[in-house]
Amino acid sequence: MENPFNIILERISGLEDLIKSMSSNQPQIQASPEELVSHREICHFLNLSTTTVRKRRNNGDIPHKRIGKKYLYSKSEVSEAIKKKRGGIR
């Protein structure tokens, strides 16, 4: 009869090999190069009040992402939208 500890060590070694092979086959998830900023930060960036940014966001003038109850903004997307908008947002 084989030592039960050797059986356990062999199984653990097999699991480690399986995990390594699975992780090497997975594509690496890279973080987006664009950082998302909060509502307050985008207000400061645009030099607009929170009410104005909220109204513009709700009108579709300012692109955003909503995660739960938080609104997040990409500075580059917001800048691009302002440039496309006739005369910019004021």
Q: List pLDDT tens digits, range 29-62.
A: 454 557 899 999 999 999 999 999 999 999 999 9
The predicted structure's pLDDT at residue 60: 92
Domain ranges in the chain are 36-84
**H-helix segments, 26-89:** 39-46, 50-59, 75-84
Residue 84 confidence class, pLDDT cut points 50, 70, 90: confident
HSE, side-chain direction, 13 A CA sphere, residue 65: 11
Q: List pLDDT tens digits, range 2-18.
A: 888 888 999 999 889 88
The predicted structure's pLDDT at residue 17: 87
What is the CA 86 to chain-centroid distance, rounded?
A: 30
The predicted structure's pLDDT at residue 23: 72
pTM: 0.57
